């Protein structure tokens, strides 16, 4: 089997995505071209398909076509995996560390996703999106806890968080690459029914936290 026909992993697709971001930053690709090539990279199954999105970009290195075997008696060996970090020490008696369990994962690929009404919100949510539109409306949602952790991993999507009037949102944990994070509500402390802690990475996308339309006008007449 030729090297170009070998299957690619998610890590290789992510690596190519980072190279495409670099090409946008250097002015070699427009945002539209980035989106089109990113879609191709995410759908790629072989190295030949994945390398095709990079071949006309000068100075951008392709994924290696061949990984030499490190031992002569083995036809193939995977790349060494870096050692895992040592586990964190257990908290001492008298201290309580609250870690939310893994929650719902919201995935989207060139999709439109909406959560509204009385949907159940776990203590932890993850948004994993590519070129999508995501609307999470918490105004009538059923909360498992007052503090909700939202982890974001996104390429070129828009994420809108609609929260009740008394809610607070913390966007300080968001890293943006060619994108934006806009908070139109109070950031804390958590004094209302919901405190949303958003963290993660947004690449060429947007994150906006806001109240429902008309909230400010209603507050003026109360």
Q: What is the pLDDT of residue 94?
A: 44
The tally of CA atoms less than 13 A away on the side-chain side of residue 189 is 1
Is there a domain that residue 9 lies in? yes
Looking at the fold, whether 38 and 108 belong to one and the same domain comes out as no
Q: Strand 168-177 vs strand 120-121: parallel, antiparallel, or unpaired?
A: unpaired
Looking at the fold, whether 24 and 111 belong to one and the same domain comes out as no
Asked if omega into 189 is within 30° of 0 (cis), the reply is: yes
Q: Using the 3D structure, point to which of 51, 74, 91 is the last residue of a domain.
A: 51
Q: What is the dihedral of CA 95, 124, 105, 25, to 10 degrees?
A: -90
Q: What is the pLDDT of residue 67?
A: 41
Is there a domain that residue 75 lies in? no
The pLDDT of residue 199 is above 70: yes
Is there a domain that residue 200 lies in? yes
Looking at the fold, whether 14 and 114 belong to one and the same domain comes out as no
d(CA 117, CA 120): 9
Looking at the fold, whether 124 and 28 belong to one and the same domain comes out as no
Is there a domain that residue 63 lies in? no
Kindly indicate the confidence band of residue 120, based on its pLDDT and cuts at 50, 70 and 90.
Answer: very high
The pLDDT of residue 133 is above 90: yes
Looking at the fold, whether 198 and 126 belong to one and the same domain comes out as yes
Looking at the fold, whether 43 and 131 belong to one and the same domain comes out as no
Total count of domains within the chain: 2
Give the count of beta carbons closer than 10 Å to the beta carbon of residue 187: 13
Q: Where is pLDDT greater, at 219 or 71? A: 219
Looking at the fold, whether 108 and 208 belong to one and the same domain comes out as yes
Is there a domain that residue 61 lies in? no
Q: 3-state DSSP call for residue 43?
A: helix
Is there a domain that residue 99 lies in? no
Q: What is the pLDDT of residue 22?
A: 80
Q: Tell me which residue range forms the domain holding 38.
A: 3-51
| pLDDT tens sequence across 16-70 | 888 888 888 788 888 788 888 888 888 889 988 888 898 888 876 565 543 433 4
Q: What is the pLDDT of residue 50?
A: 87
Residue ranges of E strands in 7-111: 104-109
Is there a domain that residue 76 lies in? no
Kindly indicate the confidence band of residue 93, based on its pLDDT and cuts at 50, 70 and 90.
Answer: very low
Q: Where is pLDDT greater, at 203 or 84? A: 203
Kindly indicate the confidence band of residue 75, based on its pLDDT and cuts at 50, 70 and 90.
Answer: very low
Looking at the fold, whether 110 and 202 belong to one and the same domain comes out as yes
Q: What is the pLDDT of residue 115?
A: 95
d(CA 26, CA 24): 5
Is there a domain that residue 110 lies in? yes
């Amino acid at each position: 089997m030729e090297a170009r026909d070998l299957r690619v992993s998610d890590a290789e697709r992510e690596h190519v995505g980072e190279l495409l971001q670099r090409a946008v930053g250097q002015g070699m690709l427009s945002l539209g071209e980035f989106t089109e090539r990113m879609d191709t990279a995410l759908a790629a199954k072989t190295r030949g398909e994945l390398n095709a999105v990079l071949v006309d970009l000068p100075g951008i290195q392709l994924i290696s076509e061949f990984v030499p075997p490190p031992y002569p008696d083995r036809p193939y060996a995977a790349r060494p995996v870096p050692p895992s970090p040592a586990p964190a020490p257990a908290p001492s008696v008298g201290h309580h560390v609250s870690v939310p369990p893994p929650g719902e994962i919201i995935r989207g690929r060139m999709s439109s996703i909406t959560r509204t009404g009385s949907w159940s919100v776990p203590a932890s949510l993850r948004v994993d999106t590519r070129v999508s539109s995501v609307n999470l409306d918490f105004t009538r949602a059923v909360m498992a806890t007052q503090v909700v952790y939202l982890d974001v991993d996104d390429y070129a999507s828009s994420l809108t968080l609609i929260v009740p009037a008394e809610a607070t949102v913390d966007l300080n944990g968001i890293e943006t690459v060619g994108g934006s994070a806009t908070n139109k509500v109070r950031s804390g402390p958590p004094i209302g029914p919901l405190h949303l802690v958003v963290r993660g990475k947004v690449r060429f996308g947007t994150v906006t936290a806001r109240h429902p339309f008309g909230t400010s006008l209603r507050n003026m007449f109360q």
